[in-house]
Structure 1
């Protein structure tokens, strides 16, 4: 398994491994077992967070807790079948983990409507293709400092990335442009 660290995966004891990755590095994961669109699940999915933008306002909304962390993710179905990200209803998906250990689900509070134009992908990714999407979190200033994002895949494996503390990544200007306009 190309991107598994020691202890990653399941060892027969029912516990999932955890792999820490550098920002912008790809995790090769197992897709959702039951994608919401009814397609067959469990395909191989590469997940790569590439950019973070912090904003007090986005898409015509103001962060209830003080700041949005908007993160671009490139999802690529790299196997012979389609794949989709695992959803919270399946015990998977994305979380922000603050420095004090508090975990917040993607879209919690007022972040669910933050999807900049050009980064609105989601659902199943067809085999051999990729798309952009964003994940967003409504955070307090303290939660935004020293944050980590965690993705739990369809097999229960957890992948984490330490999030840079300022706007960083190749898509910063595209995300900001995608948030312009009247919503």
Structure 2
């Protein structure tokens, strides 16, 4: 026969008080944590031309354009502005040396101007873009050139494709930037590309780069001056021409 054990009344009351206190504490802590405001993410002024590239890309790139995500077309990849494309370098570099290694290509900044470095736009406006080219492996690399069916184009909102460097746009190379060329293994450099556009073509445009493997990468270009290299770009174009 099983014997039933009964707690004394005083002990039972003490146990009930302890359990009630624990339950109330958990409830209070939970409610307090719900009402506690989370730490606000510090705001970044994306128009500040002194922002470094990492800060601008992390906080401002997605605000500069809504052109994100892939478009599903075979051989074409669409990226958000200032995002890096991991491409294949040119198969036949202009200087004749090896250069078909991996190449990271990142357009970061755009500046629109009717006149630049002594040249005047024939169509109405130059679109001048800064591009960071990086050869990340042990092999040198170079951008694919138009003569190889590659390189850069501006795709206007109505679908018209325009090559870089048309008219006097090819002569715009601000100080501190290059016009292209070979990138040594494990290094990177800044370059600029420029397009001669009508005012209408500066709105809603897309820049496209075709690499050495024939893959096309596209970025929706902001319609206003923006980017972390904007101050350096303007400074590089100063002077008498």
Alignment TM-score > 0.5, same fold:
yes
Gaps of 5+ in 2: 1-69
Alignment TM-score, normalising by the size of structure 1? 0.91
Q: Which residue of 2 aligns with 1:13?
A: none
Alignment of 1:46-125 (within 5 A): 46-125=104-183
Q: Deviations over 1:102-144 (max 9, x none)?
A: 0000101221111111111521100100000000001001111
What secondary structure, in the 3-state scheme, does the structure 1 residue paired with 2:169 have? coil
Determine which structure has the larger helix proportion and give its number.
2
Structure 2 partner of 1:38: 96
**Root-mean-square deviation over aligned CA pairs:** 1.3
Please report how far the alpha carbon of residue 7 of structure 1 lies from its aligned counterpart in structure 2 after TM superposition: 5.9
Partner of 2:218: 160
| Deviation (angstroms), 1:53 | 0.4
Give runs of ≥4 in structure 1 deviating > 2 Å.
Answer: 5-8
Structure ID, larger Rg:
2
Name the SS of the counterpart of 1:112 in structure 2.
Answer: helix
Which protein, 1 or 2, shows the higher relative CO under an 8 Å CA cutoff with sep ≥ 6? 1
Q: 1:21 aligns with which of 65, 79, 104?
A: 79
Aligned equivalents of 1:29, 1:124: Cα separation in 2:
15
Secondary structure at the residue paired with 2:168?
coil
Structure 1 stretches of 5 or more lacking a match? 9-15
User: How many aligned residue pairs are there?
Assistant: 172
Contact 2:206 2:221 in 1 (8 A): yes
Q: CA contact under 8 A between 1:121 and 1:131: conserved in structure 2? A: no
Q: Distance in 2 between matches of 1:126 and 1:117?
A: 20
Matched, 1:132 2:193: no
2:141–2:183 contact (8 Å) kept in structure 1: yes
CA distance in 1, matches of 2:223, 2:210: 22
Q: Distance in 2 between matches of 1:40 and 1:171?
A: 30
2:14 is aligned to none
The worse-fitting range, judged by mean Cα deviation, of 22-31 and 32-41 is 32-41
